[in-house]
């Protein structure tokens, strides 16, 4: 594992010769990047990520990009049910409640395009841990600035279009969310990323945003398989 700054033993081979075509963003929910690094490099914890970005912008490389890190767990995106085999995981040092530091975001904005270029990953394939595991995970959380990434073409931000409330779940499934969770859970995961802090029942704005996601970024255009 030459070239890694903090090698973790927690990784394996990508199954079936898979290549990464998803980038998954997490937060550490720990007191410091150093504490998170110890956790991610401890073989007893059986968890890791390819990268960890500290609050001060230091980028720690833990697992080679060619290898399968253990960051996504049980979850799915589109038809991909082994997300670990198809993704690059990036942990962001943040307690889950505080704003993400400018230094961290600056470093992320350098790292993501490098990964995208190496593996030909489009911006709609940069997703949250909460996207692939609705109800089970909430990171990187409502304080993460997705619009900042989208303005630089490193993620997407939806444009609303005509859509009906009954079609909400179908449109989210077309974008990539798995709809095999209760509707309230799916709504919460969607809002965590696209309407952070908004509460209440499903409304017309949710429906229009979901329709815009499905129209502009259908997951099946990538020809995904499990």
Distance CA 160, CA 212 (A): 5
Is residue 50 a contact partner of residue 56, using CB atoms and an 8 Å limit? no
- Report residue 56 CA to chain centroid gap: 21
Q: Could you tell me whether strands 87-92 and 51-53 are parallel, antiparallel, or unpaired per DSSP bridges?
A: parallel
Is residue 130 a contact partner of residue 63, using CB atoms and an 8 Å limit? no
The catalytically annotated residue of 55, 91, 109, 124 is: 91
Token pair, residue 136, equals 């089970």
User: Assign residue 216 a region: left if phi > 0, alpha if psi is -120 to 50, beta otherwise?
Assistant: alpha
Token pair, residue 87, equals 């993704």
* CB proximity list for 152: less than 8 A, separation 6 or greater: 109
For residue 199, indicate whether it is catalytic: no
The catalytic site residues sit at 91
């Amino acid at each position: 594992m030459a070239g890694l700054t903090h090698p973790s033993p927690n990784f394996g081979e990508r199954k079936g010769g898979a290549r990464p075509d998803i980038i998954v963003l997490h937060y550490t929910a720990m007191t410091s990047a150093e504490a998170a690094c110890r956790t991610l490099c401890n073989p007893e914890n059986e968890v890791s990520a390819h990268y960890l970005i500290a609050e001060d912008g230091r980028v720690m490389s833990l697992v080679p990009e060619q290898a399968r890190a253990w960051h996504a767990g049980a979850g799915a995106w589109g038809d991909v049910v082994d997300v670990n085999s198809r993704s690059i995981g990036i942990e962001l040092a943040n307690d889950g409640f505080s704003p993400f530091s400018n230094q961290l975001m600056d470093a992320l904005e350098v790292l993501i395009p490098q990964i995208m270029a190496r593996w030909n990953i489009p911006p709609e394939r940069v997703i949250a841990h909460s996207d692939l595991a609705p109800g089970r995970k909430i990171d990187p959380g409502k304080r993460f600035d997705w619009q900042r990434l989208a303005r630089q073409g490193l993620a997407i931000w939806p444009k609303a279009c005509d859509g009906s409330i009954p079609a909400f779940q179908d449109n989210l499934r077309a974008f990539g969310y798995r709809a095999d969770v209760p509707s309230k859970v799916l709504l919460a995961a969607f809002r965590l990323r696209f309407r952070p802090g908004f509460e209440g029942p499903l409304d017309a704005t949710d429906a229009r945003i979901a329709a815009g996601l499905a129209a502009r970024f259908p997951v099946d255009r990538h020809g995904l398989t499990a």
